[in-house]
Structure 1
Amino acid sequence: MSLKIKVFFDFVCPFCYLEYFSLKQAAGGMDVTFERIPHELRRPPSPMVDPMHDEARLKRFDEVLLPAAKALGLPMQLPRLSPHPYSTDTFLGLLYCEDHGLGQEYTEKVFTTFYEDEKDIGDLKVLGDIAKELGQNVQEFLEEITAKTQLTRLDELNALSEEYDITSIPVIYLGDTRLSGYHTPDVYKQAIADAILQQEVTPAAGMSCGIDGNCGF
């Protein structure tokens, strides 16, 4: 049986970008399926984040994020956008692509578009280009986003964060095992292997005596 891995994430979380590729590398060749669950870090009226004018964030990128990305072989950049976008429309695009069997492909393309190409993933034109690259009906894709037809569904998915006590991201569940924050591929690979083994173990029926006193011998 395939192991289901739940991932709580946001596209504008740089540690989620690292998690995506680290987990992808770790899961290579293993029988797993992914369920990626939106956890939007902010929506209006919450202010947008502007890392390009925040010395602490710039320092954190240089000292923490960039070395981790290099260790994974990723050409990560801190998107030179001021400010960084909200991700509501980006997630609505994800729901559309999931309904068309391209959720993983869309997720990866959004991450690389933002953290490698440094494009604004809150811009509908950028999202439309992603949809086109994935072979989707761009007009239908954009109309669904602008009409907000799946906003209720997105809100319901966001609400799962409270049920699972998600206070920071990324968080992944491998079966019943929870891992918070970004980890290296080796850590993810061992966690996946352990979860698959646990899933495959079927408890044996214990030996017993019946209520009639018959113990089977």
Structure 2
Amino acid sequence: MLAEGPLEEAVEGLDVEIEWKPFELRAEPKATLRPEDPYLPEIWKRAVYPMARRLGVDITLPTVSPQPYTRLAFEGWQFAVEHGLGDAYNHRMFRAFFQESLDLGRLDVLVGLAEEIGLDGPAYRKALEDGTYYERHQDALRDAEAHRVQAVPTILVGDTRLEGVPSTAQLRKAVLDERARLAASVTVEGVVCRADGTGCA
């Protein structure tokens, strides 16, 4: 949620596609955190709240205890993407958890939120109850593992990896560097030749 603003600002005016990918920070059976334990309030006080104030983001430590598992919410995201509402779904889930302290581990809560953004509630519920997107979500987690994602947010721009919430300037530089790298590659009859002479046959 904190990275949304810098991401949008960094690509403003550029022909760039932002592709969100799901990642469960604490997947079952790993225990989730409890907001009443000392760790969470301390890290939010020291790091999250100051950054949120700097970025102008209204965010609050959720009071749901223990924090919910998010597998169903992410499977629901797959449903939303298939119906053209992936970004709207992300934004609504962020607000639901980090502004309204809603329990995203409860199916009835997820269905209500899905309906708010225009998804078919009964179809969404059935997809989650039937596990329709379970394997697709597992593939996404394997993809995250292949990219060594261990923290959120992790932003990949070509070969550049940014963990945590980067500045708009850092993101813009990464995007422009990647565009320049791609522009330096010339494809001729399926052969890729780079400006430095590598890769040519």
Q: Same fold (TM over 0.5)?
A: yes
Name the CA shift for 1:200/1:125 in 2 (closer, same or farther; >3 Å).
same
| 1:45 aligns to 2:29 (yes or no) | yes
Q: Which residue does the alignment assign to 1:33?
A: 17
Q: Which residue does the alignment assign to 1:171?
A: 154
Equivalent in 184, 194, 211 of residue 167 of structure 2: 184
Shift of 1:44: 2.7
Q: Which residue does the alignment assign to 1:155?
A: 138
Inter-partner Cα distance in structure 2 for 1:168 and 1:43: 13
Equivalent in 71, 82, 100 of residue 65 of structure 2: 82
Encode CA deviations 1:181-211: one digit per residue, 9 max, x unaligned: 22122221222222223223345899xxxxx
Inter-partner Cα distance in structure 2 for 1:159 and 1:43: 13
Inter-partner Cα distance in structure 2 for 1:179 and 1:150: 28
Higher relative contact order (Cα pairs below 8 Å, separated by 6+ residues): 1
1:75 alignment partner AA: D
Inter-partner Cα distance in structure 2 for 1:140 and 1:88: 18
Encode CA deviations 1:154-201: one digit per residue, 9 max, x unaligned: 111101123212233322211222222221222212222222232233
Tell me the SS of whatever aligns to 1:63.
helix
Structure 2 residues not aligned, in runs of 5+: 187-192, 196-201
**Greater displacement, 23-32 / 71-80:** 23-32
Q: What is the TM-score normalised by the length of structure 2?
A: 0.85
Inter-partner Cα distance in structure 2 for 1:142 and 1:48: 24
Q: Which residue does the alignment assign to 1:140?
A: 123
Shift of 1:153: 1.2
Name the CA shift for 1:29/1:113 in 2 (closer, same or farther; >3 Å).
farther
Q: Is the 8 A contact 2:111 2:121 kept in 1?
A: yes
Structure 1 residues not aligned, in runs of 5+: 1-16, 207-217
| 1:122 aligns to 2:105 (yes or no) | yes
Kindly report the root-mean-square deviation, in angstroms, between the aligned alpha carbons of the 2 structures. 1.9
2:18 alignment partner AA: F
1:170 alignment partner AA: P
Inter-partner Cα distance in structure 2 for 1:118 and 1:24: 25
Shift of 1:119: 1.4
Equivalent in 163, 176, 186 of residue 193 of structure 1: 176
2:131 alignment partner AA: K
Residue-pair matches, total: 189
